[in-house]
Amino acid sequence: MNWLDAIAWDSNGLVPVIAQEQGSNDVLMFAWMNREALARTAELGQAVYWSRSRQRLWHKGEESGHIQQVHEIRIDCDNDVVLLKVTQLGHAPGIACHTGRHSCFFQLYRDGAWHTVEPVLKDPERIYK
């Protein structure tokens, strides 16, 4: 059996993916992969996702330079979520979010409202020229 056949792909042929920073264990981002994206990720050792908005493969960092070096690929107990252990490259500290932040999870619910709790490390207009 092909290792990709163990994944419980959804009806669109996708699986949710969490990118977690090696070392700090910070959750950097959430994305989707299809079979080709997961196979390319394993082959390259860099994260390749499926962009639902663009309807194409998206090599993380292809525009920003913020590449994710993949150290481990794991699946959960139901085989329906992928976890990537990554090092975020391209800027120190690593920027995973298109808003120029370290993590996409920079908003915290507190006292009935969402609060931004992570700083912008680099202006997105300087990232995406």
pLDDT score of 129: 66
User: Distance between CA atoms of 108 and 46, rounded to whole angstroms?
Assistant: 29
Number of compact structural domains in the chain: 1
CATH number at residue 77: 3.10.20.810
User: What pLDDT is attached to residue 59?
Assistant: 96
Residue 35 within any structural domain of the chain: yes
| Sequence-ordered list of residues with C-beta below 8 angstroms from that of 31, at least 6 positions apart, any chain | 16, 17, 19, 49, 50, 60
Tell me, yes or no, if the pTM score tops 0.85. yes
**Residue 20 domain flag:** yes
- The reply to whether 41 falls in a domain is yes
CB neighbourhood size of 94 (10 A): 21
Give the whole-angstrom CA distance, residue 75 versus residue 80.
7
User: Cβ(10)–Cβ(83) under 8 Å?
Assistant: no
- For the record, the structure tokens of 16 come out as 């949710």
pLDDT tens digits, 4-60: 999 999 999 999 999 999 999 999 999 999 999 999 999 999 999 999 999 999 999
Domain that holds residue 36: 3-93
Asked if the structure places residue 57 within a domain, the reply is yes
